[in-house]
Amino acid sequence: MPRSVDPSLNRRKLRLALKAARDKRGLTQRQAAEALEWSLSKLIRIEAGSVSLSVTDLRAMLHEYGVEDADLVAELEEAARGSKGQSWWSGYNDIISQPFAQYLGYESAANAIRGYHPSVLPGHVQIADYVAALFDAGQPDARAQRYIDLRMDRQERVLQDGGPEVEMIIDEAAVRRQVGGPATMRRQLAYLKELISENRATLRVLPFTAGAHDSLDSTFFLLGFQADEDVLYMAGPGGTLTNRDDRELVARYQECFEDLRNKALTEDETVALLDDLIEHFHRT
């Protein structure tokens, strides 16, 4: 199934093109807003890719920035028309926080997702029974099934044909920890093997022998884009953060991921470990 075009993809295309055109024109955001007789906040939201853009407003911006290439104008007008409408996660707005909605917008537009979780499997590769067991371990929540449905829907979109390249470093603790009982773990580990064998994701286990590293107490994901910088998403004791502007912080986690990648098992070694653990959970 080809990857569906979410409005966030078109908004991101517009964001990149319009910011580049403004920079080429030598205008600050404030100068551009004043020239267009708009509020500064309106222009900031457009350049952040957080709102849709009408064709009329697009043409005004392109005229102000001196963009006259007919092919480019036509491409951006098509993107503006596609920037309207609901994103796929809008049906879950009752359970999604604004920061996570922002992250989902970035994730939907990404062409690469790299990540690490220090204690459980990343949500992108969890089966439904594993997710349900994680929720069962917490405080009762009547919305638990909604969260499970959201995670499964998100995973389907990330791992579909034509989706982003997915590479996860999985801590050995995550594949050894019994979540949901032996039968659940057997199915979960078999699913990881399936993702590897079908080349739907690159998954490698970080062994206990790798020792200490820079992300022992936090989860992080790096979202990669064509013609744009990585976006960092972090979750840890201090809460969650989506960052694209603090380049020093993003670089730190890019280096951290490279370190984890270098210390992780190969995919063949990972599959061998998964086979051993599946057999272990058969005996448990």
Threshold 0.85, pTM exceeds:
no
pLDDT digits (tens, 9 = 90+) for 29-40: 999 999 999 999
Q: What letters, b where the CB count within 10 A reaches 16 and e where it falls short, cover 82-112?
A: bbeeebbbeebeeebeeebbbbbbbbbbbee
Q: Tell me how far CA of residue 11 lies from CA of 38, 51, 85, 176, in angstroms.
A: 19, 7, 11, 41
How many residues in total does the chain contain?
Answer: 284
Which residues make beta-bridge pairs with 235?
A: 219, 240
Tell me the average pLDDT across 179-197.
97
pLDDT digits (tens, 9 = 90+) for 135-151: 999 888 899 999 999 99
Residues 6+ apart with CB under 8 A from 139: none
Does residue 73 carry a pLDDT above 90? Answer: yes
Tell me the average pLDDT across 54-64.
97
Q: What letters, b where the CB count within 10 A reaches 16 and e where it falls short, cover 15-53?
A: bbbbbebbeeeebeeeebbeebeeeeeebeebbebeebb
pLDDT digits (tens, 9 = 90+) for 228-279: 889 999 987 777 888 888 999 999 999 999 999 999 999 999 999 999 999 9
CA distance 20 to 197: 41
pLDDT digits (tens, 9 = 90+) for 97-141: 888 888 898 898 899 999 999 999 999 999 999 999 999 998 888
Q: What does the pLDDT read at residue 171?
A: 97
Mean pLDDT, all residues of the chain: 92
In the chain, the domains with their CATH numbers are 7-82 (1.10.260.40), 93-283 (3.30.870)
